[in-house]
Chain A
Amino acid sequence: MAIKILRDFTKRMFNLFFKRKKEISLGFYGPPNAGKTSLANRICKDWTGEELGKISNIPHETRSVQFKEEVEIKFKDKSLKFKLIDTPGIATKIDYEDFMKLKMKKKDAQKRAKEATEGIIESIKWLDDMDAVVVVLDANENPYSQVNITIVGNIVARNIPVLIVANKIDLKKADLKKVENAFPDYEVVGISAKYGKNMDEFYESIFKLAKKTN
């Protein structure tokens, strides 16, 4: 623990004095199908005109880490460069038969399950490379799931600044208050990545988050 604190402190001091960060590595973490890729796509489309990854209603569409560099985001009179890192959804179980229920062939379902398990391991390993993390949750799902708590706990344990996004607030069952109550120590922003709702507030929060990375 003491070694870790010393290491983090040294890293921060080194970055502060010798290294001027060109871009901030911003990771998108969360459970499957919460809208991480949709949000990353929305940001990329807003600022570069291109999307980052493919989206699907079938869970675990993103099965490997994908990123876009040099994404310049402007807010008011400031601008910052980000490396957006979209990660596979983290889960504690993967059953290929669940994919078959969504009309996938057995062979494809098994392949998807295998890739999804590898993607989860990759997601966790990438945490060490993040300067800041956006945890994307579906505002229509129970926020108290242990996976959400584990993800946030891991980010905090690494001293990485975190912003929680409650996505899909355009849907009827969305409960932003419940997400805020589940994570009272963190800033929570409600958005709809699909329809671009409340993105201004999100960008403002991203700039606040970026400040904490120094």
Chain B
Amino acid sequence: MSKKDKIRGITLQFIPYSDIARLDSVGRVKKLLKIILDNKVVILQGRLTSDEESRLIEDTMVMIGNIKGFKGVELAVISGSSQYKSIWEKFKQGLAKALVGEQDAITIIGPASIVKEMKRDPTKLEVMMR
């Protein structure tokens, strides 16, 4: 996207966790990157595993070198899990995560050509557009 191009609007695409629950890691990353390549911002219910996040970064790096105009992604996760939870609460949360995946989080991923920066503080997320 050249500097002269101005964004008139953005598309936010919501992906419920059920849409990726049955996919393997490769499938999840592929699905998300496909939407991002369409210049849409993904709002995913839940979050990827740390391994999937690093896979997303690796695939993104490969794409930067091979897809003209693609500069990468901006990514942020807001989680409902507080770092000050008791051990019992952490156990319950871990159990729920093991059973149904980590759904009490929201992941936002946008193409870097549209999303300039995502600044996350523990309780808020600022999304700066280009």
Contacts and interface: CB of A to CB of B under 8 A. Distances in A.
Do A and B belong to a common assembly?
yes
B24 to A, nearest CB: 13
Contact of B64 (A117, A146, A182, A185): A117
The A interface, classified by DSSP as helix, strand, loop or mixed, is: helix
A114 B72 contact: no
Contact of B121 (A92, A124, A144, A149): A144
Nearest to A144: B120
A150 B65 contact: no
Contact of B53 (A153, A156, A181, A184): A153
A185 B72 CA distance: 30
A94 B64 contact: yes
Given A120-B61, A124-B54, A157-B51, A146 B76 contact: yes
A141 to B, nearest CB: 10
Contacts of A92: 57, 60, 72-75, 112
A22 to B, nearest CB: 29
Interface size class of A (residues with CB under 8 A): 20 to 34
Contacts of A184: 83
Interface residues of B, number: 26
Given A117-B61, A120-B61, A144-B121, A154 B74 contact: no
A10 interface: no
Interface in A77-121: 90-95, 113-114, 117-118, 120-121
Contacts of B51: 154, 157
A145 interface: yes
Contacts of A114: 65
A142 interface: yes
B28 to A, nearest CB: 15
Contact of A118 (B61, B74, B75, B122): B61
A93 B121 contact: no
B58 to A, nearest CB: 5
B112 to A, nearest CB: 4
B129 interface: no
Nearest to A155: B50
A157 B120 CA distance: 23
B61 to A, nearest CB: 4
Nearest to B84: A184
B120 A124 contact: no
A153 B121 contact: no
11 contacts: A92-B72, A92-B73, A92-B74, A117-B62, A118-B65, A153-B50, A153-B53, A154-B54, A156-B50, A157-B49, A182-B122
Leading 5 A-B pairs by shortest Cβ distance: A93-B72, A153-B50, A93-B112, A117-B61, A150-B53
Interface of A: 90-95, 113-114, 117-118, 120-121, 124, 142, 144-147, 149-150, 153-154, 156-157, 181-182, 184-185
